[in-house]
Amino acid sequence: MFLYSGHGKEWKTLIIKNVKIYTEEKKFQPGGIAVRKGRFIRADQNPKDEEIIDGEGCYAIPGLIDIHFHGCMGYDFCDGTKEAIAEIAKYEASVGVTGICPATMTLPAEELKQILSTAASYKKTAEKGPAADLLGINMEGPFISAEKKGAQDQRNIISCNREICRQFLDASGGLVKFIGIAPEKSRDAQSFIREMKHQVKISLAHTNADYDTALAAFEAGADHVVHLYNAMPPFTHRAPGVVGAVADSPKVNAELICDGVHIHPSVVRATFRMIGEERIILISDSMRAAGMPDGRYMLGGLEVEVAGGHAALVSNGALAGSATNLMECMKTAVKKMGISLEAAVACATMNPAKALGEFEQYGSIAPGKKADLVLLDEDLEVKLVLKEGVRVS
């Protein structure tokens, strides 16, 4: 229907008319969208060479960005191969997730460095096409707590270490955007945060920290929390823990899994009221079973049973990520949890783009940005996905 550069063809301008466009003001407004050379352009430029799509009243939203997931379609980012990353990127784009920041598991440091190095090489050599862009890496381990390890392998947990952290950053060629730590496990945690925060975002991940310890970590410069409520102390009226510290720290972002399994809808609604949509980032935390049938799969060297969308370790029944992609999580937040579409879209597009430092290129429909776009019908079913102006699905 429209053309893509790199194949010796002329560019044509794509016009998508009759849509409800999601704006940077987090509102939908009727109008049209123009795309040329893989970028959004002003819709009033009146190009002569154009292709026109009638959006039939669909919602037009930016491509989603998942900053915390492990895999899909039988592949895991920690497989450590370019093939795995490529297949993951293709699937994610096909469901409207056009930017990805996969998460690592708690594995031996040398193995993690190999995985990160492979990702750096993939980033340099990946060909343009109908696949999600690799925007970063979210290191969920290995600097975590054994008490809140969840589906992480306790044998590979280590204390936060500056030198090892720098080795991770170097191996990734700068792709690592988040390093997770359990601040209660190291006497040196605050100085680690103060030093490393200038090179990478520090998140609290799989931590048993109490309120005071978490708050001290945020005051030192940690500004992100991995899957709020999961793998951390419960939020109670006398011991608010990490959740309470997040609520009291306006510069801290929090990941939220809205797959219908990890967090009760009432808690999701309460979290939006308590923290605000500006600081919530929807994630899928999907593992390799996403897009696949129920069965047994491996995650970080541990066996997982997936049944009815519920993924749990075979050994102890602990939740082991999700089997749901981010688009489905966003739809669940809207259709089953009472979150407005406007808020949910922001938390799956603008907020993650800003957290990654990529908002100049991704996360909204604005002239000059990459033309990553999803059309949703009134039932929020995906009708069209564009990756830099090229039809994906």
Mean pLDDT of 38-55: 83
Residue 242: what pLDDT? 98
Mean pLDDT of 226-235: 98
Residue 6: what pLDDT? 32
User: In this model, does residue 43 exceed pLDDT 90?
Assistant: no
Residue 300: what pLDDT? 85
The predicted model scores a pTM of 0.95
CATH code, 119: 3.20.20.140
User: In this model, does residue 5 exceed pLDDT 60?
Assistant: no
Query: What are the tens digits of pLDDT across the range 338-392?
Result: 999 999 999 999 999 999 999 999 999 999 999 999 999 999 999 999 999 999 9
Do 56 and 70 share a domain, yes or no?
Answer: no
Q: Is residue 114 part of a domain?
A: yes
Mean pLDDT of 256-280: 97
Q: Is residue 161 part of a domain?
A: yes
45: confidence class by pLDDT, cuts 50, 70, 90 = low
**Has 285 been annotated as catalytic?**
yes
| 382: containing domain | 13-61+367-391
User: In this model, does residue 117 exceed pLDDT 50?
Assistant: yes
Mean pLDDT of 204-226: 98
Residue 381: what pLDDT? 98
Residue 288: what pLDDT? 94
Residue 9: what pLDDT? 45
Mean pLDDT of 76-93: 97
Domain count across the chain: 2
Do 28 and 156 share a domain, yes or no?
Answer: no
Q: Is residue 99 part of a domain?
A: yes
Do 69 and 200 share a domain, yes or no?
Answer: yes
Do 110 and 130 share a domain, yes or no?
Answer: yes
Do 344 and 373 share a domain, yes or no?
Answer: no
Q: How far apart are CA 193 and CA 204, in angstroms?
A: 11
Do 97 and 120 share a domain, yes or no?
Answer: yes
CATH code, 55: 2.30.40.10
Mean pLDDT, the chain, rounded, equals 94
Do 49 and 174 share a domain, yes or no?
Answer: no
Q: Is residue 242 part of a domain?
A: yes
Do 241 and 185 share a domain, yes or no?
Answer: yes
Query: What are the tens digits of pLDDT across the range 6-24?
Result: 333 456 899 999 999 999 9
Do 43 and 144 share a domain, yes or no?
Answer: no
Q: Is residue 271 part of a domain?
A: yes
Q: Which of 66, 259, 285, 372 is catalytic?
A: 285
Q: How far apart are CA 95 and CA 20, in angstroms?
A: 20
Q: Is residue 3 part of a domain?
A: no
Do 206 and 148 share a domain, yes or no?
Answer: yes
Do 315 and 331 share a domain, yes or no?
Answer: yes
Query: What are the tens digits of pLDDT across the range 142-174?
Result: 999 999 999 899 999 999 999 999 999 999 999
* Backbone φ and ψ of 57, nearest 5°: 80, 10
Do 215 and 122 share a domain, yes or no?
Answer: yes
Q: Is residue 4 part of a domain?
A: no
Q: Is residue 8 part of a domain?
A: no
